[in-house]
Structure formats: structure tokens, C-alpha cells
Chain A
């Protein structure tokens, strides 16, 4: 059974930093692309960024709204993906989800339960 468990959310002041974690199980982590998607309170879904799979050297893509401030990394030994968030703004307040991407079908089938990040003074 595929499981994605996010953690690391919390309250942080504007300008601060936070690292989110996503621990994966039930599939071959290195084979999959992985996405971060966020949802501000009461708002719609916003794609944050992507980590490609090992064959593609875990290269990354980012939304313009977070590029230069957020970085996605992976630790294959821990089956984990991370979202390093710097220079946080109030508009980064959201629930952050990690999502699998099956490149044979390009579908985002599995989602974690999400972790809430609140940026406020």
C-alpha cells in the first residue's frame, strides 16, 4: 500500500525558514517523479514544484511564485523528499501535499494527508 506522510509544518514568522518532509512507502521511490502541491485556506490547488526520478538525476522544476526561495531535495536512503522553504511570505500559508507522479501515465495518483504551514507575525 502506497503511503505518503508529510511533516514539518507549523507557525513561522515572515522571512523565516521551514523544512517539510514527505516519507514514502509502498513503491519504488527512486522510480517516481514527486510533486509538492499547496492549498491556501479556502482557496484552490497550486502546484509548487517537482522532483524528477533517479534516472533523470532528481532534477527539479518550480512555480514562479516560489522559485529562488524553495528547494526540493530527496534522500533515497530514507525514502524521503523535502521542501526547503526560505524567505517565507504570508502568502505561503497553506496546506502542503506531496504527490506521486507515475510517468508511464503522467497521473498524480497518490497524495499525502498534507501539512499546514502558517506564516504570520
Chain B
């Protein structure tokens, strides 16, 4: 199975900050990577697919990059509604696997 490792597992940030979350795959997944946002008690929300394609309706403050084994999610101008947990997921091969999540908390 492909292991997905996210870092950091949590971070503290302030409104207006720019934050970066990393995701590393244990083997080459090309660009078969998605990012999700989840708020407490809610279903995950799709943000990005194919490493860098923004899901419709998602603001451009979210951006994704990377290919192969190393990927990044960047959130610009952090707003109160962005404090949440973020997950990466590879869909290159079965089983699909998620990273452990990064909790973005208010400083």
C-alpha cells in the first residue's frame, strides 16, 4: 500500500497568515493526489484534485502543487472559516490512502 505522510500534524496560525501543508507519498503517484478540508462534525469537502486543480466553487486562496512523491497545499490570507483539518489522498493505486491529517488551529 502507498503510505501518505502529512506534515505538520497540526499548526497554529493567525488570520491573514499564509500556511503550507506538506504531503509525501511512499512511492511515485504522478499527480494522482487530492486535498480535502474537514470541519468538526461535517463531511469532508473536496478542495483540489490532480494535485493542483481547484474544485469548482473553492476560492483561489487554496492552491496545490507537486508531483511524484512530494505535494503541497497552500492557503493564503487565512480566514476564520479556514480553521479546519486538511487531508491529502492518493488515488494512483488501490487501496486509496489518506494522509493522517493536518489540523490548522488559531494562534
Contacts and interface: CB of A to CB of B under 8 A. Distances in A.
Interface string B64-97: 0000000000000000000000010101001111
Q: Which interface class (under 10, 10 to 19, 20 to 34, 35 or more) fits A?
A: 20 to 34
Contacts of A107: 34, 46, 49-50, 53, 55
B98 A47 contact: yes
A3 B62 CA distance: 25
B49 A111 contact: no
A97 B36 contact: no
B47 to A, nearest CB: 10
B49 A106 contact: yes
A64 interface: yes
B50 A46 contact: no
Nearest to B101: A44
Contacts of B100: 44
Q: Which interface class (under 10, 10 to 19, 20 to 34, 35 or more) fits B?
A: 20 to 34
A63 B95 contact: yes
A44 B98 contact: yes
A36 to B, nearest CB: 11
Nearest to A111: B43
A108 B50 contact: no
A61 B93 CA distance: 11
Interface in B8-35: 32, 34
A45 B38 CA distance: 10
A111 B44 contact: yes
B43 A112 contact: yes
Interface of A: 35, 37, 44-47, 50, 61-64, 97, 105-114
20 contacts: A44-B98, A44-B99, A45-B44, A45-B89, A46-B98, A47-B95, A47-B96, A47-B98, A50-B96, A63-B95, A105-B49, A106-B50, A107-B49, A107-B50, A107-B53, A107-B55, A108-B34, A110-B46, A111-B46, A112-B43
In the A-B complex, the 6 residue pairs with the closest CB atoms: A107-B49, A47-B96, A111-B43, A45-B98, A63-B95, A44-B101
